[in-house]
Structures are given as structure tokens and as C-alpha cells.
Structure 1
């Protein structure tokens, strides 16, 4: 019985997804929804297969993935550097706190037009918007995590003769690794969202361009297929890379 519950628990997200797809298909087949605006799962699936078979989607996936990888990596590294700087220099953190609050509160979609105006419709504007989105999440997650390190552990290390460098190496960095991976999981979806939103406003390639082309030509199957590829990439990266990394890194936690 326990085994059955475990299997059902693992399968429940997929069952819900299948039920939603069946409901979507049924709504369009029985005239409850207009397929001209919502398309059909079977139509979208056929288009996805055709794009894969012909190789049409490969270049667009490549462009979006490049934008995300570069912006995601740069944003994560910049967020880590600033978070450690804020933690070890509290005065700087106090001075910059209002700017960080504004940056975190501002919706990324609002910044997309400025990125396109400043950096053009090439890859750079998308990379910069992704960087900004990931930077804010990494900075806030890591800075919060560093402040929550158990003070007893820090005090005990000081009693044993640890200096600031020793604390950083043996206490703060191991604690930070858990928060860094957590921030990476939280920000991967935001990174793709930022890239696609920026591509919607101005691009000649990419998954966002596909969505924009589908919107302009009133092709909902293009919109759904483009979003499918974006979601699939995020799920694959999270499932195969980030989630296992977070589980394996749980022994780093020191508080």
C-alpha cells in the first residue's frame, strides 16, 4: 500500500498534465473552445515533431540557450560576488539596500524594452536582461543565507583561533553553496522568461521570435510549440542538473 502511494505521488504531476491535455483536446473537439485561438494538443504535437524532424527548431533553441547560458552564468557569478561583498562590508550593503530593493521589485518585463533600446535586437540585449534577472535572485538568496549562518558555529570557530579567512573558507562558503544552488534552481525559469520576453520585442531568431511570429500570424500552434520547447529545456536542466546538485550538496549545510 505504501509502495502504491509512493508511485501515485510520483506520477500525480504527470497524471494532472495528461488530464489537462485531454480537457484541452475535448474542449476544442466539442466546440467549447475555438481551436483558431487555442489550437489543439494533437496539432501542436504534430508541429513539434515536424520542427524536430526538419531541424527547423534547432537554430532557434540554440540561440535562446546561448543567451540564457551566458546571461545566467554572468548573473550568478555577479550575484555571488556582490552578496559576499555586502556580507563582509555591511556599510556598503546599507548604502546599496534601496537600489537592491528597487531592482528586485521591478518586473523584468518592464526592463525588456530598455534592454532592446540600449543593446539592439541582437544577442547582447537578451543576455543583459537574463543577467539582471538572475543577478537579483542570486544576490538576495545568497545574502539572506549568509546572514542566517548559525552564530554559535561562527563563535566556536573564533574561539578555536579562526580568522576571517578561515571563517570564509570553512563556514561561510560551505553554507553559501547550498544557497547558491537554491538560487540557481529558482532563477533558471526566470532566465528563460527574460530571454523570451526580450526576443518577443525584437529578434530575428530564438524561441521568443517563434512565439512572436505565431502571434503576428495568428498561429496558436506556433505559440504553444515555442513555449513547449522553452518549458522542456527548463525541466530537463532542473531535473538532470540542478535538482541532483542540490540534493548532493545538502551535506554542505552548516546551520
Structure 2
């Protein structure tokens, strides 16, 4: 049996090699052109960032802009080193990342679960639809002080604020995606006497992968907004706290440093979601 299996795997490998060899020169040139195009885009992005940082530093050095108000890359680095030496830099980053990841995860999971329940019960969805619209339109900043008053000053309140900002958007987007799936496909599932659970598992979820990814991308930004907003109000540590504290004591270098770090971490989170998207697309194809 093992010999037959080895022979079978060798045949598959040989067929794959033949397929690779069968790729025409024209197709190879096309693939190379795509890779070159992607490489150029990455290079241009890096160049734009480098040029922006260089111009920012030059403008601050020659007093074209007020370095006290706008800071400069060198002053941002000095502020970062100062916080690193007193041991508070990574502590503040860790707290903000923890709050963001937890709020992001809970908001996404809870939003998808509620969307599934509303899809499962169309009558309940119709009843709650206007309330979802109102909650989505309502500025979440208005709810933050109430939430903090109910829950108290602490990480829990910040996480709840981040959750609430992302969960309503997730429910609306995911539910809309469920409802936009071709009705004929759903009728076909009913024809084969598929249960609602089977329809959800084999039709709704597979076709809703792009919607889930889109919800994740949106929630990355919304979770950061919720966490920083919560830290502005109640936090004693975190990047949001550093922004508020830096503004209060006129240390705008600290403010700019916190904003730069936030931008980098948010970009990394977005790239992680983009990587997951590529993996899922490859598996689906």
C-alpha cells in the first residue's frame, strides 16, 4: 500500500512539473510584469515616506515651520528614546494594543453572531432595523461618558467603547451581505431540503468571506478610534493618555511620537488582515 502511495505522489509531482514547463513564454513575461509592477509600487511608497520625513526635518531645521508646534523627526525620536529609558514606552504601547485587539475581536465576533441571529429570524431583523440605523448614526462619543459612568474608570470601559463603535457597523455590513446572496441559490438549497444551518454553513458563510474581510478592515480603524477616545477620557496609561498628557504639559514631541506609533501599529494590524484575506482567497481558488 505504501509503495502504491509513493508511486501515486510521484506521478502527481511529475504532472505538476510538466504543467510548470507548459507555461508559455508569454505567460511568464506577464507574471514577471505583475511582479515588477508590485515591486515598483512598494518602492514608490517607501520613497514618498522617506521624502516626507526628510522635508519635515529640513523645514523644521530651517524654521520654515515652527518645530515647537509641528515637532520634527529628530525630536520625535528623542522623545521616544526618553520614554524608552524610563521604561514607560512599551508599557503604554502594550496597554493600548491589548485594549484595541480585545475590543476589535469582541466587536467583530459579537457583530457576526448578532448578524447571524437576525438573518435566521427575518421578522426580528425587520423589527430591529430602524434601531440599528439610529445606533449607527448616533455619534459614539456621546455614549462614552455614559458607559464610563456605568462601568467605571478603567480598561473595561475603554474596551466596551471600542466594542460598541465596531459592533453596530459589523452587524449592518454582515447582515447586508447575507441578504444580498442570490435568492435562487437559497431556493436551490431549499429544493434539496437543506436545513437553515446547512444553508448557513455551505452557502451563506462561503459566499460571505469578502464581507467578513471587509468588516475586519473597517473594524481595525474603528477599534483604534474607540480605544483612543476612551483613553482620552479615563486612561492613566496608554498612547491616548500620552497624547492628552503631552498636550496638557505642552510636550508636542510626545504627542507627535504617540501619533506616529499609533499609525505604525494600525498599519501592521491592517496588513495582518490583508494577509489573512490573501490566504483565504488562495484556499478558495
Choose 1 or 2 for highest CA Rg: 2
Cα distance change of structure 1 residues 53 and 236 upon mapping to structure 2, 3 Å threshold:
farther
CA contact (8 A) 1:44 1:224 kept: yes
What is the CA distance between 1:101 and its match in structure 2?
Answer: 1.1
1:17 aligns with 2:49: yes
Per the alignment, residue 194 of structure 1 pairs with 226
**1:141 matches 2:173:** yes
Separation in structure 2 between the aligned mates of residue 16 and residue 107 of structure 1, nearest angstrom: 34
SS of 1:62 mapped into structure 2: helix
Cα pair 2:229 2:240 within 8 Å, conserved: yes
How has the CA–CA distance of structure 1 residues 169 and 4 changed in structure 2, closer, same or farther, with 3 Å as cutoff? closer
Q: CA deviation at 1:54?
A: 4.7
Q: Distance in 2 between matches of 1:144 and 1:107?
A: 22
- Asked if 1:248 corresponds to 2:279, the answer is yes
**Stretches of structure 2 lacking an aligned partner (at least 5 in a row):** 1-31
CA separation in 2, counterparts of 1:34 and 1:195?
A: 30
The two structures have a TM-score, normalised by structure 1, of 0.90
Tell me, in whole angstroms, the C-alpha distance in 2 between the residues paired with 1:4 and 1:72: 35
1:170-181 to 2 correspondence within 5 Å?
170-181=202-213
Instruction: Give CA-to-partner distance per residue, 1:109-163, whole Å, 9 cap, x none.
Output: 3333333333222111101101101202211221111112122322222333322
1:83 is aligned to 115
Gaps of 5+ in 1: none
1:89 and 1:180 map into 2 onto residues whose CA distance is: 20
TM-score by length of 2: 0.81
**Secondary structure at the counterpart of residue 143 of structure 2:** helix
CA distance in structure 1 between the partners assigned to 2:62 and 2:198 by the alignment: 68
